[in-house]
C-alpha cells in the first residue's frame, strides 16, 4: 500500500487523498517495522527533491503520521518514560552479528555465553525499564563484535545482501527449498536481473524511486539478519520492475509482428 500510494503521488502530487493515505499508511508501517522510519524519510526527501510536494503537503503527511503513532508514543512515555517506537534494535543487531551468526542470524547458547550476556541478563533489575536494559546489553555486545571483526561483518553483510536480493543458497529454514518456494524465487530473481540490465529507465521517476527504495530496504536489513518472510518486503517492488521488462519484451514482439 505504501509503494502504491507513493507512486500515485509521484504521478499526481496534487491529490490530497493520496497525501493523507501516505501519512496514515506510513504511521501504521512504522508501528509494524521500526526500520521503516528510514524508508519513510528517504521517500519524503525523494518527493521534495523532485519538487512534487510543497511544505503544506509535507506538513499534512507528518501530522497524519504522528496522529497514527501518538497513542503508542504516549503509552511508551507513560510506561517507560521514553519516547520510542521500538526497543529491540540492539537484540536484532546482535542476532545478525554475533560469533555464531549466519544469514538468518543466530540465538545459540554459544552466542549468549560470549561476552557473558546470559549472566548480565540475570543481573538486570526487574522494573519498567527492564526491556531497555535488556536490549542495551545486546547492543553493546554487537557493536563490540563488529568493531573487533570488521572484515567478517562486511563478508556477512554481502552474503545477506545477495540472499535478500535473490535467494539464500545456504538457508537452514524448514522447507525453504520446497519447489513451491524456491522455484518462484529463482524465476523472479532471473527476470529481475534481466530487467535491471536490459530495461533500466534512467529518466523515469517511478523506476528510479523503486530501484532506490529496493536498494535501501535491502541495505538496511542486511545490517541485521534475513529471514525468508522478509522477502515479502521487496517482492512487490521486484514484481513491478519485472513487469517493466515484460512490457518491454511485449512491445518488441509487437514491433516484430508488424514488420513481418
Residue 1: which of 22, 31, 32, 27 has the closest Cα? Answer: 22
Q: What is the pLDDT of residue 259?
A: 72
What is the rounded CA–CA span in Å between residue 46 and residue 246? 27
Confidence of residue 260 (pLDDT cuts 50, 70, 90): low
Q: What is the pLDDT of residue 86?
A: 74
pLDDT, one tens digit per residue, over 18-48 is 999 999 999 999 998 888 999 999 999 999 8
- Range 42-60 average pLDDT: 87
What is the rounded CA–CA span in Å between residue 6 and residue 36? 14
Confidence of residue 75 (pLDDT cuts 50, 70, 90): confident
Let me know: does 173 contact 104? Beta carbons within 8 Å.
yes
Let me know: does 6 contact 43? Beta carbons within 8 Å.
yes
Domain ranges of the chain: 1-86
- pLDDT at residue 8 above 90? yes
Residue 76: which of 89, 85, 67 has the closest Cα? Answer: 85
What cell does 51 get? 519538487
Residue 88: which of 109, 70, 105, 100 has the closest Cα? Answer: 105
pLDDT, one tens digit per residue, over 190-232 is 999 998 888 888 788 899 999 999 999 999 999 999 999 999 9
Residue 15's alpha-carbon distances to 6, 10, 11, 43, 110, in angstroms, are 11, 10, 10, 17, 54
Residue 95: which of 46, 145, 131, 54 has the closest Cα? Answer: 145
Provide the 8-state DSSP code for 172.
-
What is the rounded CA–CA span in Å between residue 187 and residue 99? 34
User: Other C-beta atoms within 10 Å of 49: how many?
Assistant: 8
* Burial tier of 181 (Cβ tally within 10 Å: 0-12, 13-18, 19+): middle
Q: What is the pLDDT of residue 95?
A: 95
Q: What is the pLDDT of residue 127?
A: 87
Provide the 8-state DSSP code for 15.
-
Place of cell 526497543: 87
Let me know: does 162 contact 193? Beta carbons within 8 Å.
no
pLDDT, one tens digit per residue, over 108-133 is 999 999 999 999 999 999 888 888 89
Full-model pTM = 0.89
pLDDT, one tens digit per residue, over 132-191 is 899 999 999 999 999 999 999 999 999 999 999 999 988 988 999 999 999 999 999 999
Q: What is the pLDDT of residue 117?
A: 94
Q: Which of 17-26, 234-243, 246-255 bottoms out in mean pLDDT, i.e. has the lowest?
A: 246-255
Q: What is the pLDDT of residue 147?
A: 96
Distance, C-alpha 219 to centroid of its chain: 8
What is the rounded CA–CA span in Å between residue 10 and residue 105? 37
Determine what percent of the chain is predicted with pLDDT higher than 90.
66
Output the DSSP codes for 107-126: --HHHHHGGGHHHHHHTS--
Output the DSSP codes for 3-42: HHHHHHHHH-TT-HHHHHHHHHHHHHHHHH-TTHHHHHHH
| Average pLDDT value over all residues in the chain | 91
Amino acid at each position: 500500500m505504501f509503494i502504491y500510494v507513493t507512486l500515485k503521488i509521484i504521478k499526481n502530487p496534487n491529490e490530497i487523498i493520496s497525501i493523507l493515505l501516505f501519512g496514515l499508511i506510513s504511521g501504521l508501517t512504522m508501528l509494524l517495522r521500526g526500520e521503516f522510519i528510514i524508508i519513510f524519510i528517504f521517500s519524503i526527501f525523494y518527493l521534495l527533491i523532485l519538487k512534487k510536494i510543497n511544505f503544506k503537503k509535507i506538513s499534512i503527511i507528518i501530522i497524519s503520521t504522528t496522529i497514527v503513532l501518538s497513542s503508542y508514543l504516549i503509552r511508551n512515555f507513560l510506561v517507560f518514560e521514553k519516547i520510542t517506537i521500538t526497543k529491540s534494535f540492539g537484540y536484532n543487531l546482535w542476532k545478525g552479528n554475533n560469533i555464531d551468526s549466519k544469514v538468518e542470524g543466530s540465538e545459540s547458547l554459544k552466542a549468549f555465553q560470549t561476552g557473558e550476556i546470559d549472566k548480565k541478563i540475570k543481573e538486570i533489575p526487574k522494573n519498567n525499564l527492564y526491556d531497555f536494559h535488556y536490549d542495551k546489553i545486546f547492543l553493546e555486545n554487537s557493536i563490540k563484535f563488529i568493531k573487533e571483526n570488521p572484515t567478517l561483518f562486511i563478508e556477512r553483510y554481502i552474503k545477506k545482501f545477495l540472499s535478500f536480493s535473490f535467494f539464500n543458497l545456504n538457508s537452514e529454514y524448514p522447507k525453504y527449498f520446497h519447489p513451491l518456494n524456491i522455484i518462484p524465487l529463482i524465476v523472479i530473481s532471473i527476470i529481475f536481473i534481466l530487467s535491471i540490465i536490459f530495461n533500466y529507465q534512467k529518466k523515469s521517476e517511478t523506476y528510479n524511486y523503486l530501484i532506490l527504495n529496493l536498494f535501501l530496504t535491502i541495505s538496511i536489513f542486511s545490517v541485521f539478519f534475513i529471514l525468508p518472510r522478509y522477502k515479502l518486503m521487496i517482492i512487490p517492488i521486484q514484481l513491478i520492475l519485472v513487469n517493466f521488462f515484460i512490457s518491454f519484451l511485449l512491445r518488441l514482439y509487437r514491433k516484430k509482428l508488424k514488420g513481418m
